[in-house]
Amino acid sequence: MGDHNVNYLEAKKGLKSWLVTVDHKRIGLMYLFSVLFFFLAGGVFALLFRAELLTAKGDMVSADTYNTFFTLHGVIMVFLVIIPSVPAALGNFVLPLQLGAKDVAFPKLNLLSLYIFWIGATMALGTIIVGTLDPTLIGRVDTGWTFYTPYSSNGGTAVIWMTLAAFILGFSSILTGMNFIVTIHRLRAPGLTWFRLPLFIWAIYATSIIQVMATPVLGITLLLLIMENVVGIGIFNPNLGGDPVLFQHFFWFYSHPAVYIMILPGMAVQSELIAVFSQKKLFGYKYVAFSSLAIAIISFIVWGHHMFVSGQSELLSMIFSFLTFLVAIPSGVKIFNWVATMYKGSISLKTPMLWALNFMFLFTIGGLTGLHLGTLSTDVHLHDTYFVVAHFHYVMMGGTLMTFVGGIFYWWPKMTGYTYNENLGRASAIIVFIGFNVTFLIQFVMGAQGMPRRYYQYIEQYEKFHVVSTIGAFILLVGFLIAAFALVQSLIQKNKAPDNPWKARSLEWTHTATPPVEHNFIGQPVVEYGPYDYDAPMVVETLESLEAKGQPYQFSEA
Amino acid sequence: MDETQKFFDDMTKMKVQAANEWWTPDAVTQAAQTVDGVYNLITIVCVIFFVGIIVPMFYFTWKYHRKSEEQVAVSQEDHSTFLEILWSAGPMVLLFYLFFVGFRGFLDLRVEPEGAMEVGVRAYQWGWEFQYSEDFEGNPTKCTTKVNFNEPLYLPTQRPVKFIMTSSDVLHSFYLPSFRQKGDVIPGRYNTVWVEAPADKADDYTLFCTEYCGRSHSQMAATLRFVDPPEFNKWLKEKQKTSCGGVSLKRGKQIYDGVCKTCHSLDGSKGTGPTFKGLWAKEETLEDGSKVTVDETYVQESILKPNAKIVKGYPAAMPAQELDEDEIKSMFKFLQSVK
C-alpha cells in the first residue's frame, strides 16, 4: 500500500499498478486515452473518405474500400468514442469526486468494465480487419454502423461478430451505469442532497438509467441473429420467412436511446461549464435536472422516426412523429436555461468556455434541423440524404464531442496537475468551430438537393459542395491537432496548476488537492451549499475539521 | 470491366434539375410543392429560434465579459417559473402545428388517387427493373413488359403512377428527389409510392437508391422519362415486341445489358463474376474442386439458384434472378454468341 496522502499518479508506480488499479481516477484516465486513440483512428478514416469524395467519380480507392472506410468511421466513432467519451472517461474521473466519495460503489466491477470495453473494442476492430483481409471468411464489414439485414447477413457471419462486439461493449456500459446509479444513491457526502448535486451528476444519472435499460435489447437481437444463422429459424431473413424490417425495429429500439446515451453526458458537462465560467447559479436548476430524466424516458418511445419510409404503417409513423416532437421540449428547456444562466454573469472566455459556446451554437443548429426530420412530409424527402448526415454530426459531434473536449480542458489541471497554454487552447476551439461549420453546414444544402448518403460516386452537380466539405474536414484536423499539442505540451512544460483555477464550487475543486490524493479526500467532505452558490462563502469543511472545532456535523433524521 | 466502368462513369453526368441550387430541387408535383412549403416554414422557425438563442448568447458574452479577476456576477437570479412555462409551452404549440402540417403532407405522399397506373418495380444488386402491364388507357399489355434501368424508363404524364416495389435480394430505397418521394424496397414484401407529372413537366428525372446496398449502391441511378401519353403508348408497344417476343438473341442481349453487365464482362476481364467471353461449353472448376460444363442445365441453375454451384475464385454474390422460360432460353442464345 502506498501513502494515501500523496497524489494518485505518484502513489504507485509501474505498468502493473495501472493495469490492476481499482482507483476510479486511473480507470478514468485509461478510458480517456483509449477513447482519444479511437478518436484519432475514426478521424483518419473520415479524412480518407472525404478525400475520395473530392471528385464525383470514384477514383482514389475502390468502392469496397470506401464502404469499409465509412463503416469503420461510424462504428469507431459511435461505439468506441462517443458512447464511452463523457460517461466512462470523464464520468469515472469526476463523479466520485463530485459526490465526495472515495471511489465508486464497486471499484473492482469498475475495473472489469474497462477490461470488457477493451475486449469489445478488440473484437470489433478484429472483425473488421479479418473481414477486410479475407472477405470469404466472415464477410466484409461494409454495412455502415447500422448493420441492416439482409445485406449484413448475406455476406457471412460478420454481422453476428459485430453485434457480439457491440453487446460486449454494451455490457461494459451496463456495468458502469449500474455502478454510477448505486454510487449516486449511496455515496453522497453528508449534506449533499439530491438538489445540491451538480447537474453533471443528474445527467449522468439519466444516462446510466438508459444504459441499464436499453442495452439488453442488443443481447436479444444478438440471440435472434444466432438462432437464425445456426438453427435456421427465419427471423430477419426473408428467404427463411423472416422480416428484414424487424431488425430495424430491434436495432433502433437500442440505438435510439443510445443517441441519448451520447448526448445527455454532453449536456452534463455543458451545465458545469456554463455555470462555472459565468460564476452564476445555474438558471432553472430543477428544470434542467428533470429535463434530463424526461429526455431519458421519451428516448425509449421514438425509435420509429428512423423508419418513416421503411414501409411501417402510416399510423405508426404518425405516432412516432408526434412523440419525437415531444423530445424537443426538454432539450429546448436546457438550452434556454443555459443562455439565461449567462445573463448578468461574470463570463470568462477561457478555453473550456469557448468549447461550451461551440456546443451551444452547433447543438442548437443540430437540434433545430431535427424538426425537418421529425416532420413526416419533409422527412420523406430528406431521409438517408446528407441532410441527415449533417444533422447528426451537428448533434453528436457539435454536441457531445465539443463538450467532451471542453471537459478535458476543464478537468485537465485536476487530472494531471498541470496547466496548458491558454492561447493554444482557445485557438483550437476557434479553428474547430470554423472547420466544423465549413464541413457540415454545406451538407444540409447537399441533402436538400437530394444527395444520398453512403455514395462512393455522385452526380457532378454536387461536386462543388463536396469540395467545400472536404476542405472543412482538414481544417478540423488542424484544430484538433492544436488541441492535442496544447495538452501534450502541458505535460512536458509541467507548469503547476492551482487547486481551483476556475473558482468552481463543486467538491472536486474545493475539497481536493490538484491532482487529488489516492483516496480523493483527506477526511470526509461536508456540503453546506449548492454546487453553483457562487455568492455563498467558500466553506471547506470535513467531518473531522468540524469535530476538531467542537461543532460536530448534525446528521439529519432522514 | 471497361464497359461496366464506362456505364458507372455516365452516372455522374445525370441531373437533378434545380433552379436554386442552394435550396430544394424544382418541384414537379403539387404534393412536392406542399412539402417545400413545410420545409420553408420549418426553416423560418429554425432561423427565428436560432437567432433568439445565439444573439443573446453572444450579447451576454460581450456585455458580461469578466474584465478583472475579482469581478463577480451582477445577479444570482436563478429561476423564473414564468419563463420556464413560457419556453416549454410556447414552442409546444408551434411543434404541434408543425407535426400536423407534416402529417397532412405525408398522407398526400402516401395515399394515391383512384385510377393510378400500376407499374411493378423490382430492385436488385445493382439495378432497377420496371414491369409494365397496362398502357396509358388501361389496356393490358401482351405480357408483363420488363424494362431495365440501363435505358430511360418511360412513364406517361397526366396520370398518377403507382409503383409497386419489391426487392430480389437486400434492402433498397426508391428515391425521386424532384418529386420529394421515397420508399424502401424490401425483399419478401411490397411497398408503394406514387407520383403524377403534369403535362407541362414532361422531362427526364433521376431515380436514386437511398438504402445502402453494397458495392454499387451509388450506381443504382436511373432516368425516368415522363412523356405525353401517345408517346408513352408508342414506346410501350415497341418494348412489347422484344419483351413479349419469345426467344431471341436480341432479347438475350437486352437482359444482359440490364441485369448481368454490372458483374459479368464480355471482353474476358474479371468482374465480380466470371466473364461471359467464351463461357459457353467451357469446363469450369467449382469451389469444391469438382468440374462442370457450362451448358443449358448449368446456366439455368446459375440464373435461378446462383449460389448452388460457385466457380472457384469468385464470391457467392449473385442474387437469384426472376426470368421466365423464354428469357432463360434467350440467354442461352446470347451466351452462345459471345465467343
What's the complex ipTM? Answer: 0.91
Distance from the Cα of B27 to chain A's closest Cα (Å) equals: 11
Of the pLDDT bands very low, low, confident and very high (cuts 50, 70, 90), residue A1 is very low
Into how many domains does chain B fold? 3
Q: B159 and B42, same structural domain?
A: no
Q: B88 and B133, same structural domain?
A: no
**Position B209 in a domain:** yes
Position B312 scores a pLDDT of 85
**Position B1 in a domain:** no
Q: Which residue has the higher pLDDT, B323 or A340?
A: A340
Grid coordinates standing for B191? 411497398
CB contact under 8 A, B61 and A347: yes
Q: B167 and B101, same structural domain?
A: no
CB–CB of A316/A243 below 8 Å?
Answer: no
Residue B91's domain spans which residues?
30-65+77-110
B19 contact A CB<8A:
no
Q: B88 and B41, same structural domain?
A: yes
Beta bridge partners of B187: B167
Query: A323-376, pLDDT tens digit by residue?
Result: 999 999 999 999 999 999 999 999 999 999 999 999 999 999 999 999 999 999
Position A427 scores a pLDDT of 97
CB–CB of B204/B179 below 8 Å?
Answer: no
A390 contact B CB<8A:
no
Grid coordinates standing for B50? 436560432
CB contact under 8 A, A381 and B187: no
Residue A379 has pLDDT above 90, yes or no: yes
**Position B312 in a domain:** yes
Q: Is the peptide bond between A198 and the residue preceding it cis, with omega within 30 degrees of 0?
A: no
User: What are residue A552's phi and psi, to 5 degrees?
Assistant: -55, 145
- Candidates A290, A325, A344, A375: best to mutate against B (most CBs of B within 10 A) is A375
Name the percent of chain A lying above pLDDT 90. 72
DSSP string, B145-180: EEEETTSPEEEESSS-EEEEEEESSS-EEEEEGGGT
- Within 10 Å of residue A285's Cβ, how many Cβ atoms? 24
Of the pLDDT bands very low, low, confident and very high (cuts 50, 70, 90), residue A406 is very high
- Domains detected in chain A: 15-548 (1.20.210.10)
Rounded distance, CA A483 to CA A160, Å? 37
Of the pLDDT bands very low, low, confident and very high (cuts 50, 70, 90), residue A14 is confident
Q: B210 and B139, same structural domain?
A: yes
User: What are residue A37's phi and psi, to 5 degrees?
Assistant: -60, -45
B191 contact A CB<8A:
yes
Q: What is the CATH number of the domain that holds B277?
A: 1.10.760.10
Position B2 scores a pLDDT of 42
Q: CA torsion angle for B170, B176, B177, B181 (degrees, to 10)?
A: -90
B272 contact A CB<8A:
no
Q: Which residue of B has its CA nearest to A248?
A: B171
Query: A50-104, pLDDT tens digit by residue?
Result: 999 999 988 889 898 899 999 999 999 999 999 999 999 999 999 999 999 999 9
Position B313 scores a pLDDT of 82
Q: B285 and B177, same structural domain?
A: no
Distance from the Cα of A467 to chain B's closest Cα (Å) equals: 15
B100 contact A CB<8A:
no
Mean pLDDT, chain A, whole residue set: 92
Distance from the Cα of A549 to chain B's closest Cα (Å) equals: 30
- Within 10 Å of residue B138's Cβ, how many Cβ atoms? 10
Residues of chain A in contact with residue B88, where contact means CB-CB under 8 angstroms, are 329, 332-333
Q: B203 and B154, same structural domain?
A: yes
Of the pLDDT bands very low, low, confident and very high (cuts 50, 70, 90), residue A2 is very low
Q: B237 and B172, same structural domain?
A: yes
CB–CB of A506/A198 below 8 Å?
Answer: yes
Distances (CA, A) of A206 to A85, A260, A296, B227: 16, 9, 6, 57
Q: Which residue has the higher pLDDT, B291 or A407?
A: A407
- Within 10 Å of residue A295's Cβ, how many Cβ atoms? 24
pTM (two decimals): 0.91
Q: B144 and B86, same structural domain?
A: no
DSSP, collapsed to helix, strand or coil, labels residue A526 as: strand
Residue B1 has pLDDT above 50, yes or no: no
- Within 10 Å of residue A3's Cβ, how many Cβ atoms? 11
Question: B186, B215, B243: which is the final residue of a domain?
Answer: B243
Q: Which residue has the cell 399510423?
A: A315
Position B4 scores a pLDDT of 47
A316 contact B CB<8A:
no
Pairing mode, if any, of strands B117-124 and B172-176? unpaired
Residues of chain A in contact with residue B304, where contact means CB-CB under 8 angstroms, are none
Q: Residue-wise over A241-276: b if at least 16 C-beta within 10 A, else e?
A: ebbbbebbbbbbbbbbbbbbbbbbbbbbbbbbbbbb
Question: B177, B209, B243: which is the final residue of a domain?
Answer: B243
**Position B234 in a domain:** yes
Q: B259 and B159, same structural domain?
A: no
Residues of chain A in contact with residue B191, where contact means CB-CB under 8 angstroms, are 311
**Position B23 in a domain:** no
Distances (CA, A) of A6 to A9, A521, A522: 8, 11, 10
Q: Which residue of B has its CA nearest to A502?
A: B69
Of B79, B105, B178, which is closest to A284 when you measure between CB atoms?
A: B79
Residue B261 has pLDDT above 90, yes or no: no
Distance from the Cα of B24 to chain A's closest Cα (Å) equals: 5
Distance from the Cα of B157 to chain A's closest Cα (Å) equals: 21
Residue type for A246, please? L
Which of the 8 DSSP states describes residue A400? I
H or E, element range at A417: none
**Position B72 in a domain:** no
Q: B164 and B89, same structural domain?
A: no
Question: B212, B243, B274: which is the final residue of a domain?
Answer: B243
**Position B332 in a domain:** yes
Q: B34 and B102, same structural domain?
A: yes
**Position B84 in a domain:** yes
Helix axes A158-186, A92-99, angle to 10 degrees: 10
Query: A23-32, pLDDT tens digit by residue?
Result: 999 999 999 9
Position B273 scores a pLDDT of 85
Grid coordinates standing for A227? 438462432
